[in-house]
Amino acid sequence: SSFYPRGIQPRSLALEGRFGARTVADLQRRGHDVALWPDWSLGRVSAVAREPDGVLKAAANPRGMQGYAVGR
């Protein structure tokens, strides 16, 4: 994992409490393991996903001094 010492946790999401209960329930219904955290507590977060056709999608949270998401 590029986030050493943390490992990969497929289908898991850490969401701040500002997400609505309906959104959380829908993500759980789709098979995601959702962990709720206090508002504004997660700080710098990034995500990368590869679509079935090979296209990479990436996103980074702009909070903090620098945010980026990279995949290969």
Mean pLDDT of the chain: 82
Q: What is the pLDDT of residue 10?
A: 80
Note whether 27 and 54 are same-domain residues.
Answer: no
Note whether 13 and 29 are same-domain residues.
Answer: yes
The stretches in the chain having pLDDT less than 50 are 1
Do residues 25 and 15 lie in contact, with contact meaning Cβ atoms separated by under 8 Å?
A: no
Note whether 51 and 37 are same-domain residues.
Answer: no
Note whether 37 and 48 are same-domain residues.
Answer: no
User: Which residues make Cβ contacts (< 8 Å) with residue 34, sequence separation at least 6?
Assistant: 12, 13, 15, 24, 27, 28
Global pTM reads 0.56
Do residues 34 and 15 lie in contact, with contact meaning Cβ atoms separated by under 8 Å?
A: yes
Determine the residue type at 57. Answer: K
Note whether 55 and 36 are same-domain residues.
Answer: no
